[in-house]
Structures are given as C-alpha cells and as structure tokens.
C-alpha cells in the first residue's frame, strides 16, 4: 500500500490511484433528493474530512460509500475492503465487546487481536463487558476498534468522537491519525468540529444542498497544532463557509459556470440502480485535479 503518500503535505493525493470515485450520485427519499448529483473523488491514502450542517446528507453519503444504501443513481466506485464506524455505536448487545470487535472477520481470529484493538482505544479493561453496560463514549470507542481491526482500504467514520470528553477525544484523534499513517488507508471522516477536520485531514469538504459545496486542501505541516501558523486563518475560512448560507452560495458555485462535467438529467441513468457500487481493484487513475480549492460542481 502506498504509505509513502503521507508526506507532511499531500496536495497530490488526488493524482494517485483513486480510492473513491463518485460521479452524478443522487439519493432521494421520496421526491426529496438528499444527495443531488454529487461528485467526489478521493486518492488512495487520502484523509478527507466532511463537514456540513445537520441533516445535509453526510451520513447518507457515508452509507452509500459503505455499500449499504444501493437505491441510488450515478456512479460509485469504492474499494472492496471498507469499514464503517457509525454515528451510533451499533454494537450487538448480545455479544461481549471483544466478540463484537471480531464479528465478521474471516477465519477464526483469536481474542488477542480484539484485545489489542481495544487496548489501542483505551478499552483494554472492558473487553469482557456487555455492550449495554458501556458508557456512551466507551461504546463509541468499541465501535471504532471494530472498524480499525478490519484493516480496510477505505475507512468511513461518522462522527466517531462525538461522545468523547476532550482528553479521550484527543487520544482517539491521535490514534486514528497514527493508524492512517501506518496503514495508508483512505479515510473519510464526518465531523462537526472544524478544528478536528483541520488537525487530521488532507482535504476538507463542505456538503450543502446535496453536493460538495466547497473544498479546501489543508496545506499545513504535520504534526499540526491548533496554535500553528495558518491554522486560525483556515479555521475562520471554513467557519465562514459553514456559517452563512448566503455568503457560501453567493461566492461562486453556480454549477454551470464551472469547468466540471455538465449536470446530467436524472433520467440519464435510471436503469442503473442497485448494483452500481462496484469494487475497484483495477480502477483508472484519478487525474481530475483541477484547482483544488475551487468548489466542485455537480
């Protein structure tokens, strides 16, 4: 795996082989399109953070990328080995924590493997507990361990640090960063925390009205520091993008003016429902690296 992709700065992440390629993705509930002609690509080993207001469709996008939601239109390519840590921990209440961690792994993985993963998230002392007896943050960390133990090529994290106290949160963030560095998997992290996004990600996306409304490459040196140079400016910029709706859309993202592919009529791919998520072992390299800080239009 391309671990050498992780230089201090990875502006070229998009030029390597793609880990995720999504084009023209639409997902509707009823006649409301929660995801509307969304375009997204992630390079192998790229760490992308996804921001956006509550209810804008981040979890929905994650479920699509995980291959769990196939009632979609558009093209989605993702690696075969994916792991998800859901917004809610979703541990099987009838399995002890360590069995939850090993659930679904091929073969007969031994308990030590689960214990190691749990120790990494600071749950070494609770391996034998029933999930119903875990605290909210503990359950979330167990769910994180369950995703990490799978050694995926694409790791999908849906607000995995939401229920953690400040200290545990920093530890968990560091853990995810370390694992990412070590394993070189692509990570898509959904978060509401701009600082977290800037600390961890190569690239930050802002989702709005069913599309990636804004994209920003984070060119800061790693390891990053909240007080580091450039951090405050980036944070202010992103907060501005998140905060005022008029300012964001008014800036410059009328889809037609941009260089992206023309918006396809929804009827162009109606028959292509269901089996569209295809594992991409032999995917074409992703070369569409236009101006990275420009909004990606659908």
Partner 1 sequence: MSVSHAPPDTSLPPPLPPSLERVVPLGSRRSWSPRWLRRAWGPVLLLVAWQVASATGVLRPDTLGSPGAMAATARDLLADGTLPSAMLVSVRRVAVGLLVGVVAGTGLALVSGLSRLGEDLLDATVQMLRSIPWVGAIPLFIIWLGIGEAPKIALIALGVAFHLYLNVYAGIRGVDPQLVEAGDSLGLGRWGLVRHVVLPGALPGAMTGLRYALATAWLALVFGEQINADDGIGFLMNQAREFLRTDVIVVCLVVYAVLGLVADFIVRSLERLLLQWRPTFTGQ
Contact between 64 and ligand ATP by CB under 6 A: the answer reads no
Contact between 107 and partner 1 by CB under 8 A: the answer reads no
Which of 18, 56, 149, 156 binds ligand ATP (CB under 6 A)? It is 56
CA distances from 286 to 15, 77, 163, 201, 290 (A): 6, 12, 36, 19, 11
Contact between 59 and Mg ion by CB under 5 A: the answer reads yes
Which of Mg ion, partner 1, ligand ATP, none is residue 288 near (CB under 5 to 8 Å by kind)? none
Return the range that interacts with ligand ATP (CB under 6 A); candidates 15-23, 47-55, 90-98, 108-116: 47-55
Residues 6 or more apart from 83 whose CB is under 8 A from it? Answer: 146, 147, 148, 150, 152, 154, 155, 156
- Beta bridge pairs of residue 27: 35
| Residue 293, CA atoms < 13 Å, CB-side half-sphere | 8
Which of partner 1, Mg ion, ligand ATP, none is residue 55 near (CB under 5 to 8 Å by kind)? ligand ATP
Residue 212 or 220: which CB sits closer to Mg ion?
212
Contact between 98 and partner 1 by CB under 8 A: the answer reads no
Contact between 55 and ligand ATP by CB under 6 A: the answer reads yes
Task: Give the nearest distance from C-beta 199 to partner 1 in angstroms.
Answer: 26
Which of ligand ATP, partner 1, Mg ion, none is residue 54 near (CB under 5 to 8 Å by kind)? ligand ATP
**Other beta carbons within 10 Å of 261:** 14
Residue 103 or 288: which CB sits closer to partner 1?
103
Residues in region 157-196 near Mg ion by CB under 5 A: none
Q: Which residues bind ligand ATP (CB under 6 A)?
A: 29, 34, 52, 54-60, 87
């Amino acid at each position: 795996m391309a671990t050498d992709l992780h230089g201090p700065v990875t502006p070229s992440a998009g030029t390597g082989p793609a880990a995720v390629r999504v084009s023209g993705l639409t997902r509707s509930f009823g006649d409301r399109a929660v995801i509307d002609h969304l375009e997204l690509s992630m390079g192998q080993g790229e760490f992308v953070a996804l921001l956006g207001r509550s209810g804008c469709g981040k979890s929905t996008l994650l479920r699509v990328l995980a291959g769990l939601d196939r009632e979609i239109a558009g093209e989605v390519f993702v690696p075969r080995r994916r792991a998800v840590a859901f917004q809610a921990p979703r541990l099987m209440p009838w399995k002890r924590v360590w069995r939850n961690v090993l659930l679904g792994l091929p073969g007969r993985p031994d308990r030590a493997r689960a214990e190691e993963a749990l120790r990494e998230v600071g749950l070494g002392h609770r391996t034998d507990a029933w999930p119903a007896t875990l605290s909210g943050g503990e359950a979330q960390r167990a769910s994180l361990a369950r995703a990490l133990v799978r050694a995926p090529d694409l790791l999908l994290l849906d607000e995995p640090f939401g229920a953690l106290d400040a200290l545990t949160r920093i530890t968990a963030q560091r853990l995810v960063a370390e694992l990412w560095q070590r394993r070189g998997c692509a990570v898509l992290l959904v978060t509401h925390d701009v600082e977290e996004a800037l600390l961890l990600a190569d690239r930050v996306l802002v989702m709005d009205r069913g599309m990636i409304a804004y994209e920003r490459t984070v060119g800061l040196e790693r390891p990053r520091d909240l007080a580091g140079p450039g951090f405050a400016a980036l944070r202010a910029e992103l907060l501005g993008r998140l905060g005022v709706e008029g300012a964001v859309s008014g800036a410059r993202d009328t889809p037609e003016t941009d260089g992206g592919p023309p918006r396809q009529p929804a009827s162009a791919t109606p028959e292509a429902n269901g089996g569209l998520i295809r594992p991409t072992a032999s995917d074409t390299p992703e070369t569409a690296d236009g101006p990275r800080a420009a909004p990606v239009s659908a």
